[in-house]
Chain A
């Protein structure tokens, strides 16, 4: 009777066994890596927009305040996307012939809204309110990154639950004085460890586990 197994069979068997173990460990790791990758979360990826609007130029170099365009960020849940009219307040006077701005002029002339590609999106069972965060000393850049350095705007953070919880568990690490909320390059000052808790008390931010109760964000 001929040999059932060739001399190499052992090696193949060991290889298969090791591959199996590697897959068992590796595939979940790979899958976890993929879902956290920028490819999936969209972090750092700047999609093409109808107009190549630069936050770096407008907000960083020209110093236009966030609230000039995002008018309701300190008033209601949504920060607000500016109507074409807001663009035209300046661009009816400057860069009136620019090719780059043609879609804006067309939108205004034809009364057809611009369609911006959405960057930041939360699941439908999460409810976020800009105004309460801004008025309680959470700055724009904490979530949106330093947009004054973004030539084309991209998503700065993947808004997964852990990201929100980091702050909701320890708001004193992130809370700023009111004048610093709009500062895009804010870094925690050296005395944040003492200033933070003081600000949390001043803002009446409810401590304990209140901010991590499910009903705060989910309803």
Chain B
């Protein structure tokens, strides 16, 4: 819709006083006739009821469903149901009740503490582990979606030899026949490739294996990689180190290409600490300000109080500028946004010496990391607000490039790939697939029979982390334990099993020895067996070994500062590569929940786009949805263009994880493969690229315009020290034509309500995925989303404020408001939506006849309608994930957020049986609340003045969404914080 030539007029509109202060999409700003039609249609989806039948994901799911059809036949008789008790009731398992196990979620080899809720032996839901010293009870989208990964029908289910089904016995026999020769040659020619390893058990096994095969080599590939972080520390301190910021002690933060709030191994722990720090500062009446400079907008720059778009190539020069000011030099002059930003950041840092934090992200260059270390040293932050510790990732492995080179030389005779997918994710320049053909024996073990599996002689299914024993370290070094919550569904083996087998030819008979391997690693020399068992059992119950975090190390700057890089040569476009904010590096690309999760900033689903700045779109005449070609070094990718406000002018962002080539899989053929263009030396940045239009168009499916709330006071920003923007607390209820509600809103019954702190919300989507897992929310597919039929009960709206090139960004999660005077209830002809005495706006599926009147009456647009039978095509194995406490909705039924009524009912029944005590505060935690890493959501009884939600509602920032409609919503918001009396949340 929006084309490049319109952008100039958009700028004018935004600059003019009549322009919208907050805006959600470029189309909304343009206010074009098409957009008005779209809004006026109310149900854009209804316009094309008989749309194209192509619903790719659906057909695939259906095909998988046929393939697994045999399983249903085992279920029993056609007309009768059976009750099948145990023969011997296992201890602690009570049919129909939840049982939680402490375990760890694995992200790029790093761990976060989780509690796995199981029922009748099936893992159903992931909750955060509040006792875990690193993750503090938060979770991220990948952890939440891991239960879907367990039941994923696309998972590899059998051993394959040369593409044909085989067996573990055949694999063992073949390898055992070869092993004597391996040992005789000292392992010459053996190459083992793994993902990043933090597990002490696996590390010990790798060491043992390398001792058994002294000439073998170990390589690490896959994941986002932390090489730049370690190399940066080496260039500053002479050795690789992790850097852990302590936001609690900080007074200001500067993030250069910073990703501490973005999806990544550290997101849960870091964002939780950041929001706690910000909350503590607010309580003291100050702001823990965040300055961010990045080439492409991220969650970190979106939450920044002062953000600026800077090309990746200029970040090092910018760090030098800051270093100069920190050393007593003068700040750069100039009136451009970058210079202004540098002056602001330098002022904040020098005013808070010893209490500032400068960070650089995963994708920053080693030199930038080194400069950030020097900057922190010069400011006295090192050791005060920043802790350094030994690297969590095991070192000593070779890189993918070295492996590719060894294969090219013919030096690799046996390639063993354990849990990595280099054929897909290695940069195309390494030509990994072709080089792999030169290896005589190739073995691949993974959760999926992926691209690498297709090129290997043997493919072996691995066990899912929810089926495995193991251990893993968090970013701070805390050792978390992984325990199985279900027996392996597909006879997969753990990496530990396979490493043990490859080392001595024994084992790999089953998972029985995996626990033994973990125990053997953790039993201290000479430790009494009973004492160890007690210690291990305690750690297993907690989910981690207490006090196992890495010790802080003293550091001293040893090396010279990196030189100021030359100004980038003009001409050509800078391309930056970023992991995808929902599916990360593509490892999780088959998880439909993550594919349909709107990406935090673009709100695009089911594909990746070529993100470019309004400036570049204007110059090249590129409109949203134009297929553009990005070319460099003779290679090219093509993807749909997306104009991203806040993007650096001459920078194009490509995201990883798409362009998969795995026939019949959900992810096959979605988007483009950014690895095609990734340089080997600088994996996150490419210069001198060319951008051309292909002339074709394909509009990405987005939820961006869904439920648009234009022209209203939706998002509020509280400038520090300014008059409160919240609703006045003592104001009389507005006059109403309607009689006051008959129902008693106080008294014996609890009155449920929710408060959402917009200052803490980082837009990470963990709540959305948690809601999907808890409430059996269906996935509808790309075409249905394009029709406006996205089914999520909770959406995170993203608003921009200010100008097009450097807007402020705001996130706002919107569940059902549970209005005390709910407009939807007036509309229903069959009373399928109505109130209960605890203030819940109920939706009764078995009454609903699907008139959709309630949806059109809802001012918040939080109701979702099942246009098709979205749940009928689920495979039996996916059905195992469904929460039995929540109805699976049929076609033709309206649904919406219930405040997790099943959790309320459970707490109500428990307290009713327990001497009729009132439900204690905190006994009901909604799924979204429990998942949130920054604790932005508070839920509880608003009639109890002592409850946490009542306390949150007393905050002067508290306001109701569209409160003037007199809907009296139970969900209210706390305005986001801004540094000065600036309504856009931005200082000059």
Mutual binders A and B = yes
**Chain A residues packing against B (C-beta within 8 Å):** 47, 72, 75-78, 80-85, 107-108, 111-118, 121, 123-125, 127, 129, 131-132, 135-136, 203-204, 206, 208-210, 213-216, 218-219
Q: Is B173 interfacial (CB-CB < 8 Å)? A: no
Q: Is B858 interfacial (CB-CB < 8 Å)? A: no
> What are 25 pairs between A and B in contact, CB < 8 Å?
A76-B96, A77-B97, A80-B85, A83-B87, A84-B87, A107-B87, A114-B85, A115-B76, A116-B82, A117-B81, A117-B83, A127-B885, A129-B909, A136-B912, A206-B748, A213-B842, A214-B847, A215-B842, A215-B905, A218-B845, A218-B887, A219-B886, A219-B887, A219-B898, A219-B905
Contact A132/B80 with A85-B87, A215-B901 known, Cβ cut-off 8 Å: no
Give the shortest distance, in Å, between A16 (CB) and chain B (any CB): 36
- In the complex, A114→B902 CA distance in Å? 31
Interface residues as binary, B67-91 with A (CB distance below 8 Å gives 1, 0 otherwise): 0000000001000111111111100
Give B813-860 interface residues, CB cut-off 8 Å to A. 834, 836-837, 840, 842, 844-847
Contact B81 A214 (CB under 8 A): no
Contact A80 B80 (CB under 8 A): no
Contact B80 A118 (CB under 8 A): yes
Complex contacts, A210 vs chain B, CB 8 Å: 749, 837
Give the shortest distance, in Å, between B512 (CB) and chain A (any CB): 18
Complex contacts, B80 vs chain A, CB 8 Å: 47, 117-118
Contact A82/B87 with A115-B76, A219-B901 known, Cβ cut-off 8 Å: no
- In the complex, A84→B85 CA distance in Å? 8
Complex contacts, A129 vs chain B, CB 8 Å: 909
Contact B837 A213 (CB under 8 A): yes
Contact A132/B909 with A116-B83, A219-B902 known, Cβ cut-off 8 Å: yes
**Chain B residues packing against A (C-beta within 8 Å):** 76, 80-89, 94-97, 748-749, 834, 836-837, 840, 842, 844-847, 885-888, 898, 901-902, 905, 909, 912-913, 916
- In the complex, A10→B94 CA distance in Å? 71
Give the shortest distance, in Å, between A66 (CB) and chain B (any CB): 16
Contact A81 B901 (CB under 8 A): no
Complex contacts, A81 vs chain B, CB 8 Å: 83-85, 95
- In the complex, A112→B916 CA distance in Å? 41
Give the shortest distance, in Å, between A126 (CB) and chain B (any CB): 8
Q: Which residue of B lies closest to A80 (CB)?
A: B95
Give the shortest distance, in Å, between A164 (CB) and chain B (any CB): 13
Give the shortest distance, in Å, between A167 (CB) and chain B (any CB): 16
Give the shortest distance, in Å, between B290 (CB) and chain A (any CB): 41
Give the shortest distance, in Å, between A159 (CB) and chain B (any CB): 14
Give the shortest distance, in Å, between A41 (CB) and chain B (any CB): 14
Most A CB atoms within 10 A — which of B83, B96, B901, B902? B83
Complex contacts, A214 vs chain B, CB 8 Å: 834, 836, 842, 844, 847
- In the complex, A107→B82 CA distance in Å? 16
Complex contacts, B97 vs chain A, CB 8 Å: 72, 76-77
Contact A213/B846 with A78-B95, A132-B909 known, Cβ cut-off 8 Å: no
Q: Which residue of B lies closest to A118 (CB)?
A: B81
Contact B885 A219 (CB under 8 A): yes
- In the complex, A91→B773 CA distance in Å? 44
Q: Which residue of A lies closest to B841 (CB)?
A: A215
Give the shortest distance, in Å, between B88 (CB) and chain A (any CB): 5
Contact A204 B89 (CB under 8 A): no
- Taking a contact as CB atoms closer than 8 A, the residue among A76, A113, A206 that contacts B87 in the complex is A113
Give the shortest distance, in Å, between B238 (CB) and chain A (any CB): 60
Give the shortest distance, in Å, between B973 (CB) and chain A (any CB): 25
- In the complex, A97→B707 CA distance in Å? 71
- In the complex, A178→B813 CA distance in Å? 47
Contact A116 B844 (CB under 8 A): no
Contact A124 B888 (CB under 8 A): yes
- Taking a contact as CB atoms closer than 8 A, the residue among A82, A114, A125, A208 that contacts B887 in the complex is A125
Main secondary structure of the interface of B (DSSP, over half): loop
Complex contacts, A75 vs chain B, CB 8 Å: 94
Complex contacts, B84 vs chain A, CB 8 Å: 81, 113-116
- In the complex, A84→B80 CA distance in Å? 21
- In the complex, A112→B86 CA distance in Å? 8
Contact A115 B913 (CB under 8 A): no
Main secondary structure of the interface of A (DSSP, over half): loop
Give the shortest distance, in Å, between A69 (CB) and chain B (any CB): 10
Contact B916 A218 (CB under 8 A): no
Q: Which residue of B lies closest to A125 (CB)?
A: B887
Give me 6 other A-B pairs in contact (C-beta within 8 A), A76-B94, A77-B97, A216-B836 excluded.
A81-B85, A125-B845, A136-B912, A214-B844, A219-B885, A219-B898
Complex contacts, B842 vs chain A, CB 8 Å: 213-215, 218
- In the complex, A66→B655 CA distance in Å? 61
Complex contacts, B847 vs chain A, CB 8 Å: 214
Give the shortest distance, in Å, between A208 (CB) and chain B (any CB): 8
Complex contacts, B76 vs chain A, CB 8 Å: 115
Contact A85 B89 (CB under 8 A): yes
Contact A123 B913 (CB under 8 A): no
- In the complex, A132→B842 CA distance in Å? 22
- In the complex, A118→B845 CA distance in Å? 25
Complex contacts, B888 vs chain A, CB 8 Å: 124
- In the complex, A111→B86 CA distance in Å? 9
Give the shortest distance, in Å, between A81 (CB) and chain B (any CB): 4
Complex contacts, A216 vs chain B, CB 8 Å: 836, 905
Complex contacts, B88 vs chain A, CB 8 Å: 83-85, 111
- In the complex, A204→B97 CA distance in Å? 25
- In the complex, A108→B85 CA distance in Å? 12
- Taking a contact as CB atoms closer than 8 A, the residue among A80, A127, A204 that contacts B912 in the complex is A204
Contact A218 B86 (CB under 8 A): no
- In the complex, A175→B909 CA distance in Å? 17
The 6 closest A-B pairs by CB, nearest first: A204-B916, A78-B96, A81-B85, A118-B81, A83-B86, A213-B836
Contact B913 A135 (CB under 8 A): yes
Complex contacts, A118 vs chain B, CB 8 Å: 80-83
- In the complex, A206→B908 CA distance in Å? 12
- In the complex, A83→B95 CA distance in Å? 11
Complex contacts, B94 vs chain A, CB 8 Å: 72, 75-76, 80
- In the complex, A115→B87 CA distance in Å? 11
Contact B909 A131 (CB under 8 A): yes
Contact A83/B909 with A76-B96, A125-B887 known, Cβ cut-off 8 Å: no
Complex contacts, A85 vs chain B, CB 8 Å: 86-89
Complex contacts, A107 vs chain B, CB 8 Å: 87
Contact B912 A132 (CB under 8 A): yes
Give the shortest distance, in Å, between B776 (CB) and chain A (any CB): 11
Q: Which residue of B lies closest to A113 (CB)?
A: B84
- In the complex, A127→B845 CA distance in Å? 13
Complex contacts, B905 vs chain A, CB 8 Å: 127, 215-216, 219
- In the complex, A63→B847 CA distance in Å? 43
Most A CB atoms within 10 A — which of B749, B836, B888? B836
- In the complex, A84→B84 CA distance in Å? 10
- In the complex, A82→B86 CA distance in Å? 8
Q: Which residue of B lies closest to A84 (CB)?
A: B87
- In the complex, A115→B844 CA distance in Å? 34
Contact B913 A131 (CB under 8 A): yes
Complex contacts, B886 vs chain A, CB 8 Å: 219
- In the complex, A12→B898 CA distance in Å? 60
Contact A215/B748 with A123-B846, A131-B909, A204-B916 known, Cβ cut-off 8 Å: no
Q: Which residue of A lies closest to B836 (CB)?
A: A213
- In the complex, A111→B902 CA distance in Å? 35
- In the complex, A47→B840 CA distance in Å? 42
Contact A218/B844 with A77-B96, A213-B837 known, Cβ cut-off 8 Å: yes
Give the shortest distance, in Å, between A132 (CB) and chain B (any CB): 5
Give the shortest distance, in Å, between A52 (CB) and chain B (any CB): 16
Give the shortest distance, in Å, between B848 (CB) and chain A (any CB): 11
Complex contacts, B898 vs chain A, CB 8 Å: 219
Complex contacts, B748 vs chain A, CB 8 Å: 206
Q: Which residue of A lies closest to B743 (CB)?
A: A209
Complex contacts, A112 vs chain B, CB 8 Å: 87
Complex contacts, B86 vs chain A, CB 8 Å: 83-85, 113
- In the complex, A115→B913 CA distance in Å? 32
Contact B846 A218 (CB under 8 A): yes
